[in-house]
Amino acid sequence: MKVNGKHYRTIWMEGHQVKMIHQNKLPFCFEIFESENHLQTCHAIKTMIVRGAGAIGAAAGFAMAQACREAQEQHNYFEYIRKAKTTIESTRPTAQNLFYAVKEAFDAGMQSADKAVERAQELAENNADEMKKIGETGNSLIHQKMNIATHCNAGWLAFVDYGSALAPVFEARRSGKDVFVYADETRPRNQGARLTAWELHQENIPHAIIPDNANAWLMSQGKIDIMITGADRIAANGDVANKIGTLEKALAAKEYGVPFYVAAPLSTFDFDCVSGNDIVIENRSEEEVLWQEGPDKDGGFHRIRTANPESKALNPAFDVTPAKYITGLITAHGVISPTRTDIRQLKDFL
């Protein structure tokens, strides 16, 4: 990605530090967060300084690599990294990429800390390469003058680079296609309004932020030609867990005949998860629903309560969209149908 003319990745590792774009500060402030150890990286994952399936996976792999390096200074190397693995895996329960990266880096770390770092770096490189291919694959679905809808953020910031749902949009724009994007605001954390819109602006792609509950109406009016989202976990039967609100968009798309695609890397597929019923859904703090945050005149951030002071809130972070509502899955290995047979074949590429 380019920010003010300079190329950045969402997250990377330099020496013992893990560096990442501070997503909670965007779009009002562009800042790099520097994590000194695996516990700080865990904090970044949990508090959504880094967020998005692929970026979470990269962060988790780097956190495991940090822990292996730290363990070299400890009395019991293997006990330390086993404890760290449990800590990292407890940060966010839904994104499959996190668990895949932790296992890969941990297994390498059982040989040596250097091997863990090497594997974590390799996973990050693979993520960027795979997302570029997803962009090229998905571009074939996008035609001139298309209106595209998306939900949450699945662009550069959600991965090491390029993105999943937005990668085809970026590729379409670069190939000369005239497209327009409707970006759902994505309550309660507003990733669409704050992150997707910022990325689209950086790429000079015409777009509009829409309320989460406007999507079905726009579909009913024929204003949306295709919808593409990302995913946090895809079960073996094609059911998809993604940011809360995705299910209702898929239902509306089915009703109004709008093709509904999900773009994801192989690390998002959980081949051992039978169906969406087996996916653990993260419940986050009610504060995200009851309060909103934005910049103040002094350059800091200010929180205000936007809900009835005496009320409580529920905050499920994800929902599950059954495979029957999904037109296709956009992968680096082509667009496949969300069926057990096609998904099983992807396992050969891991």
- Catalytically active residues are 232
CA torsion 16-21-25-28 (nearest 10°) is 140
Alpha-carbon distance of 297 to 28, in angstroms, equals: 12
> Do the Cβ atoms of 12 and 19 come closer than 8 Å?
yes
Query: Residue 330 has which token pair?
Result: 């956009």
Q: Which amino acid is it at 330?
A: I
The answer for residues whose C-beta is within 8 angstroms of residue 149's C-beta and 6 or more apart is 181, 182, 184, 215, 218, 219, 224, 226, 227, 228, 249, 258
Alpha-carbon distance of 115 to 105, in angstroms, equals: 8
Could you tell me if residue 188 is left (phi over 0), alpha (psi between -120 and 50 degrees) or otherwise beta?
A: alpha
Q: Give whole-number Cα distances, 157 to 1, 169, 347, 349, in Å.
A: 9, 15, 26, 25
Query: Residue 264 has which token pair?
Result: 């994801």
Nearest to 196 by CA among 256, 154, 242, 236: 154
Alpha-carbon distance of 22 to 301, in angstroms, equals: 14
> Do the Cβ atoms of 224 and 218 come closer than 8 Å?
yes
Q: Give whole-number Cα distances, 214 to 149, 183, 186, in Å.
A: 11, 10, 11
